[in-house]
Amino acid sequence: MKVIGITGGVGAGKSEILDYISRNYNSRIILADEVAHQVKEPGEICYKPLIELLTEEILNEDGSINKQRMAEKIFSSEELLAQVNEIIHPAVKDTIIKAIEEERESKIYDFLFIEAALLIEAGYLEIVDELWYIYADEQIRRKRLKESRNYSDEKIDSIMESQLDEEEFRKHCKVVIDNSGSLAKSYEQIDRKLGDYL
């Protein structure tokens, strides 16, 4: 089983690429964002530390964490945000490492894909066999974000500024999938690459 990390800037089309892979290949796909939500559920590893840090003000009546309240609380304080990240990021990584170990033992899948915005920054290079960079031209990404998510130019600027630049992505990634054109062209690149491994 090959473990492949998928990364790329906002609006590059990582979701479409992963959707295609999940439909056409014997693969498991792990989205770090989803894992980050799971580890905050009651009884899970980050639940107690987050409440100790942010108090019970962030809870819903049923005891689950209210995402909106939690966001309001941490985004007004860089220090709190850093502390929350210190709780969540390692837990997400540990959960993903455990999943990789389980899947390697089960030998069910040909591929395991991990998608995360911060794969490079969070040190995932040591837990994946290779990294793929989903590339799309900046103008295309901007257009997609306006159309699909209704983002303003200011919001797009601030997200893009917080992410790695293209050079940095290319430096760390073994494979580049150019997703600037039609999806059919992107799918051809994926088929070529994964076909080599099968």
Pick from 35, 31, 26, 3: which is nearest to 15 by CA?
A: 31
| Distance (Å, whole) CA 83 – CA 77 | 10
Q: What is the mean pLDDT of each run of 10 residues along the chain (198 residues)?
A: 95 95 98 95 96 94 94 88 94 96 97 91 91 95 93 92 92 96 96 94
DSSP 8-state symbol, 136? -
Q: What pLDDT is stored for residue 19 in this prediction?
A: 97
The DSSP symbol for 118 reads T
Angle at 122 between CA 135 and CA 107, to 5 degrees: 80
> What's the fold here for domain 1-26+109-198?
Rossmann fold (3.40.50)
Structure tokens, 36? 């980050």
165 DSSP 8-state letter: P
Strand intervals (E) in the chain: 2-7, 27-31, 111-115, 130-135, 175-178
Q: Residue 122: its pLDDT value, please?
A: 86
Domain ranges of the chain: 1-26+109-198, 36-102
* 2, amino acid identity: K
Residue 50 has what pLDDT?
96
pLDDT reported for residue 117: 76
| pLDDT of amino acid 76 | 81
pLDDT at 109: 98
* pLDDT score of 116: 86
Please give the pLDDT value at position 167.
93
Sheet with 175-178, edge to edge strand ranges: 27-31, 111-115, 2-7, 130-135, 175-178
Q: Return the pLDDT at 83.
A: 95
pLDDT for 118:
82
